Amino acid sequence: MSTLQEEINKRRTFAIISHPDAGKTTLTEKFLLYGGAINLAGSVKGKKTAKHAVSDWMEIEKERGISVTSSVLQFHYNDYCINILDTPGHQDFSEDTYRTLMAADSAVMVIDASKGVEAQTIKLFKVCLLRHIPIFTFINKMDREAKDPFELLDDIESVLGIDTCPVNWPIGSGKNFKGVYERDLGAITTFVAEGAGQREIETHLLQMDDPDTEKKIGSHYMAQLRDEIELLDGAGQELDMDLVRSGKLSPVFFGSALTNFGVETFLRHFLKMTLPPTPRVADTGIIDPVEEPFSAFVFKIQANMNKAHRDRIAFMRICSGKYEAGMEVNHIQGGKKIRLAQSTQMMAQERTIVDEAYAGDIIGVFDPGIFSIGDTLCAGNKKFQYEGIPTFAPEHFARVRQVDTMKRKQFIKGISQIAQEGAIQIFQEFNTGMEEIIVGVVGVLQFDVLMYRLQNEYNVEARLEQLPYEYIRWIENEDIDVAKIQGTSDMKRIKDLKDRPLLLFINSWSVGMVEERNPGLVLSEFGKN
Ligand code: GDP
């Protein structure tokens, strides 16, 4: 096998999706712990991370005039090279969070066992579905009182519409959490909460027919477990890897990230069940990660918040071949050859300059303002383009006006550039055009960023008036007379900068109502670029 093929085969690139507080940070940290990337879990991550990241960011920004936020963590586990993509939640939730999923080959969905499927998980899950990537479920916090495991699986199946197949099965929860039954081994791993999760834990495997097992677990729990195993074996889905790989069946694991319980089991199964970077679709056909030389696409652009430096960082996912510092590539959308000089990568907690990277890896490249989200870069004389990245539905809308009408040009320039980076989406009134600009954002914080940047980078004072709309739908039908759509009282017609019509709604039920009233009208939650 060639080195290139070996390197690519080692790679696993995935995102962790969850609702805030389900334990995404804790689980990520435990993966790093098992990968040997950090020694004592809890020493750098957790709530302290925010501070850590901020100081890092400012230091590097000062040194090189670039802004940095963690985007991907790379670490090694056994013979694997693992890239975890960060999907920012909390107040940082934005369209970038969705776009990051475009760069992942699979997703790990963390669910709080006491809560089940929550709002943000649903949103992120929909994007995973769009791409048919494998989704692995980690039901976390079993050391706390949890919902009934069957209820949790039902919740995932009914709310998300994906089948589930438990790989292990919990015995009790909270104070009575005894451990998990490993279905593939037919044995029990007992729960030990020692060391407060700071070190890798030793696990003990108990055989089902060993009389000691009954004593250790308790006859009540053993009887219940036997019943449940029978139910699972009888009625449950089999672990069909074709279904897993096409994103139709999610393998489910129960554990407790805080105490490390179930983390390594998860990692081992996950790595076995997932594939190295798979071929991706371009306009010329399928691009093989090993056969083709370097190619990548831009999925995120990070603007510099320092107005002295307008430059940005473009994050790209390598889809084939190898990146070497200084290589010349074709920037397809720009129609130019460019040199990729300094690119950075996050190794565990540290950002480093990389000289080489392979398909599956994410690199951050200095961007003098030439890249847009979705752009393709190819090595040598290759000229193909990866499928564009969809536009995701904003949930907050506002009308934005410049205060000084003399500054119209700067205002339009600023707002258009910020939209090009993908931080905001801009729309116009359906009839009046550019007189009024309507801005849509996924996370409400983006409004603040917009106002700040207009003022500081473009010297334009603007006013923002929030609008009550929360739902946007793209119209899939070509040649439709938008004026003739039978609307609801809360529906508003707008258009994007390419004059494509869209609909805004205040209430979610109005979306269904409009579909009902206009047979043949096809509305979509995702826009094409
Ligand atoms: P995130 O917002 O999804 O990244 O969640 P965090 O990893 O920051 O976790 C949120 C809170 O839940 C923190 O206080 C964690 O210590 C706690 N937590 C995470 N995993 C577990 C777990 O397995 N058991 C318990 N009891 N608490 C946990």
* Ligand 1 geometric centre to CA of 358 (Å): 33
pLDDT, residue 164, reads 97
| Equal fold, 14-74+89-273 vs 280-378 | no
pLDDT of residue 468: 97
Place of tokens 């308790």: 218
**Pocket residue to mutate for ligand 1, from 19, 21, 256, most atoms within 8 A of Cβ:** 21
Distance 269 CA to ligand 1 centre (A): 22
Of 129-133, 181-185, 297-301, 452-456, which gets the smallest average pLDDT?
A: 452-456
**Which residue from 16, 110, 140, 258 has its CB within 8 A of the most atoms of ligand 1, so it is best to mutate?**
258
> Could you give the CA distance from residue 97 to residue 92 in angstroms, rounded to a whole number?
8
Find out whether 128 and 143 touch, Cβ atoms under 8 Å: no
Distance 217 CA to ligand 1 centre (A): 26
Q: State the pLDDT confidence band at 475, using cuts at 50, 70 and 90.
A: very high
Q: Which long-range contacts (CB under 8 A, 24 or more apart) does 408-416 make?
A: 410/458, 410/459, 410/460, 411/454, 411/458, 411/460, 411/462, 413/458, 414/453, 414/454, 414/457, 414/458, 414/460, 415/439, 415/450, 415/454, 416/497
Is 89 or 492 the better-scoring residue by pLDDT? 492
Q: How far apart are alpha carbons 349 and 340 in whole angstroms?
A: 24
Instruction: Show Cβ contacts of residue 305 under 8 Å, excluding neighbours closer than 6 positions.
Output: 61, 67, 453
Torsion of the alpha carbons at 162, 167, 168 and 169, rounded to the nearest 10:
40
* 447-453-455 Cα angle (round to 5): 105
pLDDT of residue 32: 86
Nearest protein CA to atom 9 of ligand 1, as residue: 23
Three-state DSSP state, 121: helix
Residue 144 DSSP one-character state: S
Q: Which residues contact 212 (CB under 8 A, 6 or more apart)?
A: 206
How confident is the model over 444-469, as a mean pLDDT? 91
3-state secondary structure 329-388: EEECCCCEEEECCCEEEEECCEEEEECEEECCCEEEEEECCCCCCCCEEEECCCCCCECC
Single out the residue of 520, 471, 523 nearest to residue 501, CA to CA.
523
pLDDT for 59? 45
CB of 105 closer than 8 Å to CB of 14: yes
**Residue 127 confidence (pLDDT) above 90:** yes
DSSP class per residue in 473-513: EEE--SS--GGGS---TT-EEEEETT--EEEEESSHHHHHH
pLDDT in tens, 226-243: 999 999 999 878 899 999
Q: For position 47, what pLDDT does the model report?
A: 36
Tell me: the pLDDT tens digits for 281-306? 999 999 999 999 999 999 998 876 55
Ligand 1 centre from 418 Cα, in Å? Answer: 34
Which CATH architecture fits 280-378?
Beta Barrel (2.40)
Choose which residue among 26, 47, 93 to substitute to test ligand 1 binding: the one with the highest number of ligand atoms within 8 A of its C-beta: 26
Q: Which CATH superfamily is domain 396-524 in?
A: Peptide chain release factor 3, domain III (3.30.70.3280)
CATH entry, 14-74+89-273, from 2.40.50.140, 3.90.1150.10, 3.40.50.720, 3.40.50.300: 3.40.50.300
Residue positions in the annotated binding site? 18-25, 86-90, 140-143
List the single range of 331-345, 368-382, 443-457, 465-479 with lowest mean pLDDT: 331-345
Pairing of strands 80-85, 72-77: antiparallel
- pLDDT tens digits, one per residue of 70-97: 567 888 999 999 999 878 766 678 888 8
Residue 159 DSSP code: I
Nearest-5° Cα angle at 169, 167 to 172: 165
Q: Are strands 425-429 and 471-475 parallel, antiparallel or unpaired?
A: unpaired
**Residue 143 CA, ligand 1 centroid: distance in Å:** 11
Tokens of residue 485, six digits: 């759509």
Q: What is the DSSP code (8-state) at residue 415?
A: H
Taking the centre of ligand 1 as the mean of its atom positions, its distance from the CA of residue 420, in whole angstroms, is 35
The token pair that represents 77 in the structure block: 């586990």
Q: Whose CA is nearest to atom 10 of ligand 1?
A: 21
Mean pLDDT score across all residues of the chain: 87
End-to-end CA separation in angstroms for the chain? 39
Statement: residue 42 has pLDDT above 50: no
Element (H, E) at 85: strand 80-85
Residue 69 has what pLDDT? 45
Residues annotated within the binding site for GTP are 18-25, 86-90, 140-143
Token pair in block for residue 343: 């690119």
Ligand 1 site: residues with CB under 6 angstroms? 18, 20-26, 89, 140-141, 143-144, 256-258
Residue nearest to atom 11 of ligand 1 (CA): 21
Q: Which atom of ligand 1 is nearest to the CA of 259?
A: 23
- Indicate the domain borders of the chain: 14-74+89-273, 280-378, 396-524
